[in-house]
Every structure is written in C-alpha cells, then in structure tokens.
Structure 1
Amino acid sequence: MTEYALQLNVEDQLTRIVYIDENFSREARSMLYHAYLEEPSIRYLMDDSKPNYAQRVRALIRELIKVHFAENQPVIGVMRGERLAGFAFVSTPDHQVELFESLRWRWRLMLSVGLQAAERFINYRKEVAALLADKRFYRVPLVGINPKWQHQGYGRLLMEAVDSLCETDQDSEGVVLDTGNSRYLSFYSSLGYQELGKVTVGSVAETVLFRPNQEPQLDET
C-alpha cells in the first residue's frame, strides 16, 4: 500500500488516500460485491431471475479485480483510521484495449459466470466503449464504499482523488464512468460529471458520464 499525495482531516480523524495493491483484493471483493449486488444493471447482466445469481456476481467481481491487478492498473483507496472505507479501480487511457478483445479473458469469464451472463457483460462493455471512440479517457470500472461509512463524505474524497490522478496526465481528456442507478446522478453531477450518452442494459438505461480535466488556474499575481 503506497501513500497518495492527498491527506485530509475529517471529524478529527486522519483520512488518507492510498494506492492499493493486490494484498487487499479479498477486502475489495467483499466490499464491491455488496456495492453491486443490487445494482439494476448487474441484476440484468448476471440474470437475477436464475439460481446462483449471487455466485455469478462474486465471480464477475473476482475476475475483474484479478485482471486489474494483473495488468498493474491503479487502485485508489480511502482510509478511515486504519480501515479501508472505499475503493476506486481506475483504467488508464493506454489500457483502453477492452477486455472483450482478450479471448483468454472471455473464456475465463464464461467459465465463471456462464455463457449468457458473459455475453451480456461483454456486449455491454462494447456499447460503452463505442461511446468513448478514440478519446483518451481514464475510466472507473469499479467503485464502492463500505456500507458502514456511506453518506459521510468518503465517496466524494475518493472520486476527488481519482480526478486528481487523472489531471496529472496532461494527455488525458478526463474521467469516464457509468451507472444504471439514477440516484447516483446528482452526486456525480456535483463533482462535475456530464452525460456522454446512454446504453441499454436490458430494461435499464445505463448513463455514461464523463468529467473533463479542469484547466489549470493561472496565477494572476
């Protein structure tokens, strides 16, 4: 675990932003499983109408986390004291060769979640990727906050850290993420995210959002 450059004090407790390594993959799997289990898009993609839905969600999260760490992509965590309050998995612009182009990964996903769920997930990723075209966006494929510490500002700190990371890359155009849960839209809007487009995930309208990198402030003194 590597210290990130941002430290903030929240209610007299030192809150730290850190880079997370694969030693925290088990904790990330648990937190993200609870974050995504009831999300409308995931319920369709992993087909909650069939038996073993929770098992498929666990398998999907496991495979996404495994490939993310294997390819050395950044993971940002927010610490509450000595406990992790949340994670954001970030894909860099140079890593935008989508997973659906990897036959090995597609095969592993199919074995883990089944053919239908794998095809649904891959098609969803293709549709999101089509909206991005050749733009140099960072992407947040997975993000979650510990349920005990939601609505306490940790999600905002985490996303501000993601934005800060992306703005250090002068060739980047900004950050992209997507959600099928309308209750998150006002939160992302307050952080400067704008709608890029929508993709259809079953009966769910998945909103693809982007936040353009902010122009540096000029010193007028």
Structure 2
Amino acid sequence: MEKQAMEACKAVYLTAEDLRIAASIIYNAYHDDPFLIDALHCDDTLQYEQKLRGAIREELNELWQQEQGLIGLFLGKRLVGVACIATQQVPLGEARYWHWRMKMLISAGWKSTQAWMKKEHQIIESLPSNHFAILQFIAISTNEQGKGYGSELVKTVLSWCDEQPDLDGVGVFVSDPLHRVLFSTQGFDKLEELAIGSVTGELMLYRGRQNG
C-alpha cells in the first residue's frame, strides 16, 4: 500500500496558484518550531499564529519572486509536501532587501524580522562558501506524515541541488532529534552546533554530488 502511494507521488516546481496551500502546509508543520516560537516574541496564541502565518506568507512570496527553489510533492493533483530552498545568489540575512524587511515588519514585527535575519546570517557565516544554499522550509501535510514522503522530499531537494551548476550543496538548521535522523540518513553531515536566539541545534550540510 505504501509502495503504491509512493509510486503515485511526483515532485514539481510550485506555481503561483500553489502558494496558498503551500503556506498552509508549512504553517501546520512549523507551528511548534522552537526557533519561530522564540523569534516571534509572543505569549498570546492568536497573535503568535497571526504573525506566523504572515511571516510564512511573506517569505514564500519573496522566494517565488526571486525564482528560488520552491518544490512541491504531489499525490495526483493534491499538494502534500513543500520544500523551499534559498541560494546565496539573492540577498539573505543582514543583506535582505528593504521591501522584504518592511513586509515582514508589518506581518511579524521588527524584533521578529531581526531574529529571522540573524538566523540566516549565522547560517551563512558557518557555511563553507557562498555556493551553498539554505533549506528554509521542508514540510509534509499533517495527514500524510509518517508515510515516507519526508524522505522522498529530501531526496528531491538533493537531486535538485545536484542539478544546479553553481551550487556545492545545501545546509539546514535542525533542532529536532527526529529531523536530525532524517537528514542524516539522506546524506547530511553535522557541520557544527549553533545557538540561534535561545534555541540550540545543529547546522547540517549536504555536499553536492560533485563534492562527494
């Protein structure tokens, strides 16, 4: 049964029409993410959720506008997984465009915007070179988790990475032990420990096929 379901899934680039559903999948997957809880600086649940939706929406729109790697995993016509990859060919961290800063400020507040940029800056500073991308989001729909689609999506990210002539690999910040196991089994290695805000985790790195 699982094998049949896996055979039916396909990975393609997201279209503009997919972004709303993609944002919903990411929101549900990252609702309890330690970094986002810390970065959004909010004790009120409703306000936190509003800020989280806004931050995810603005980041997705920016990645789309900058033609970054937005990959969707589909079962038939149904979007069940999303991976968002940002390359250093566009400004990240403290170099973020002002229009992104203003939109994020309105959606999430200035302290949260600063925390987001600081996270990216710390990751970029730790990567081996500016030819490594950052995996910003990776998420599977709540109803489809635990079925192997997460591994399929990570494999798709690595295949995408290997096809990019200007990329040497991709890094991801991981604070959940289960996620650490997932990335380790798919070829990621621990680069170093990072403390981002009050959250401690690992920066994990996949070195592209040409560097393997």
TM score, norm. by length of structure 1: 0.86
CA distance in 2, matches of 1:153, 1:168: 23
Q: Which amino acid aligns with 1:60?
A: A
Q: Which amino acid aligns with 1:117?
A: S
Q: Which amino acid aligns with 1:25?
A: L
CA distance in 2, matches of 1:47, 1:93: 27
Please state how far the C-alpha of 1:99 moved relative to its aligned partner: 5.0
Please state how far the C-alpha of 1:173 moved relative to its aligned partner: 1.4
CA distance in 2, matches of 1:187, 1:93: 25
Matched, 1:142 2:137: yes
CA distance in 1, matches of 2:37, 2:88: 28
Please state how far the C-alpha of 1:86 moved relative to its aligned partner: 0.1
Please state how far the C-alpha of 1:82 moved relative to its aligned partner: 2.2
Q: Which amino acid aligns with 2:29?
A: A
- Counterpart among 31, 34, 37 of residue 25 in structure 2: 31
* SS in structure 2 at match of 1:32: helix
Runs of 4+ in 1 over 4 A off after TM superposition: none
C-alpha contact (below 8 Å) 1:177/1:210 kept by paired residues: yes
Matched, 1:175 2:176: no
- Counterpart among 8, 12, 32 of residue 14 in structure 1: 8
- Counterpart among 206, 216, 220 of residue 201 in structure 2: 206
Aligned runs of 1:85-104 on 2, under 5 Å?
A: 85-95=80-90, 97-98=91-92, 100-101=94-95, 102-104=97-99
Q: Which amino acid aligns with 1:163?
A: L
Which stretch shifts more, 124-133 or 155-164? Answer: 124-133
Which stretch shifts more, 25-34 or 70-79? Answer: 70-79
Please state how far the C-alpha of 1:214 moved relative to its aligned partner: 2.4
Please state how far the C-alpha of 1:133 moved relative to its aligned partner: 5.4
Please state how far the C-alpha of 1:89 moved relative to its aligned partner: 1.0
- Summarize deviations over 1:134-191 as a string: whole Å, max 9, x none: 3411221111100111111111111111111111234421111112222210111000
* SS in structure 1 at match of 2:209: coil
Structure-2 change in CA distance of 1:111 and 1:156 (3 Å): same
Which stretch shifts more, 131-140 or 15-24? Answer: 131-140
Please state how far the C-alpha of 1:66 moved relative to its aligned partner: 0.8
CA distance in 2, matches of 1:142, 1:100: 19
Matched, 1:195 2:190: yes
Alpha carbon RMSD of aligned pairs, Å? 2.1
Q: Which amino acid aligns with 1:11?
A: Q
C-alpha contact (below 8 Å) 1:137/1:176 kept by paired residues: yes
Structure with the higher fraction of residues in helix conformation: 2
Matched, 1:40 2:34: yes
1:120 aligned residue = 115
Please state how far the C-alpha of 1:121 moved relative to its aligned partner: 1.8
Structure 1, unmatched stretches of 5+, are 1-8
CA distance in 1, matches of 2:120, 2:69: 20
Between Structure 1 and Structure 2, how many residues are aligned? 208
CA distance in 2, matches of 1:69, 1:170: 20
2:60 aligned residue = 65
CA distance in 2, matches of 1:93, 1:124: 14
Identity %: 23
C-alpha contact (below 8 Å) 2:168/2:210 kept by paired residues: no
